[in-house]
Structure 1
């Protein structure tokens, strides 16, 4: 019999609290509020929530929102949402000091976004700008240079 944390459907879920970068904390510790998993949101809401989390220094939690979109989107949008989730995880690794993980996930995100131009434009996602941002951050990580952890802007539009 497993003593792993499980959700109501019996799937393994780590119920330990997490810090702002998604690292598990000891049971009983006070952690960051977690985005509920499995929430189906309208694309604009997913992008807005993910942007708010990125701007608050919580890229791991932004990844969870984007992953929900990836799991519930139409087939022709999977590359877009997978790519955005991978970029958020890449930023998470960068913030945690894991340069190798950052470069790997950022590269995957860029590759996932590449075929997603139509879906990106449909939702106002700045796929070109995000790919450029991720490529710069991945190159800095691979070269051992200091990383600019300023979160990217997910959508086209007025500067924030």
Structure 2
């Protein structure tokens, strides 16, 4: 059998080198894509939120999810659920913008539940209540209308001041 070797990173883990569009969908090899976010970058919470908001505003929630995932994986244990929930909100918006309302609604609901546990505080200036409402409203809209939404036009505000 003649197989094309899988793309691998420097540690030998499988990584797709295919270019991707702004919503993280793979494009054909040789086509111009959007640069992926580097993995494993440790940022301060403020740097993470500013970069994630920039990407959300640009209509690139998949890329924002990657930034938030880094914070989830590298952050303190008592904040992991917060960062995981924020990453789920971003990937929920990704699915909604890709035309997958069922997956989008499920991830938005799961992400809202995760961040809601932080509602009694405002960690790092994050608008937990506003994000929870945004996610619940968008999830309900997706369930009701099964529509594709514009990523930038429906991006949430994380609560970070510019």
Q: TM-score, normalised by structure 2?
A: 0.90
Structure 1 SS opposite 2:14: coil
Deviations 1:54-86 (CA, angstroms, capped at 9, x unpaired): 000000000000001101000000011000000
Equivalence for 2:156: 152
User: Is the CA contact (8 Å cut-off) linking 1:55 and 1:151 kept in structure 2?
Assistant: yes
Give yes or no for the alignment of 1:34 onto 2:41.
no
Give yes or no for the alignment of 1:13 onto 2:19.
no
User: Is the CA contact (8 Å cut-off) linking 1:91 and 1:102 kept in structure 2?
Assistant: yes
Q: Which has the higher relative contact order, 1 or 2, with Cα contacts under 8 A spaced 6 or more apart?
A: 2
Q: How many residues align?
A: 157
User: Is the CA contact (8 Å cut-off) linking 2:55 and 2:64 kept in structure 1?
Assistant: yes
Shift of residue 145 of structure 1?
5.7
Q: TM-score, normalised by structure 1?
A: 0.91
Q: Against the structure 1 CA distance between its residues 75 and 98, is the aligned structure 2 distance closer, same or farther, given a 3 Å change threshold?
A: same
What pairs up with 1:98-109 in 2 under 5 angstroms? Answer: 98-109=100-111
What pairs up with 1:9-158 in 2 under 5 angstroms? Answer: 9-117=11-119, 121-144=122-145, 146=147, 147=149, 149-155=153-159, 157=161
Shift of residue 25 of structure 1?
0.6
Gaps of 5+ in 1: none
Gaps of 5+ in 2: none
Q: Against the structure 1 CA distance between its residues 13 and 133, is the aligned structure 2 distance closer, same or farther, given a 3 Å change threshold?
A: same
Structure 1 SS opposite 2:25: coil
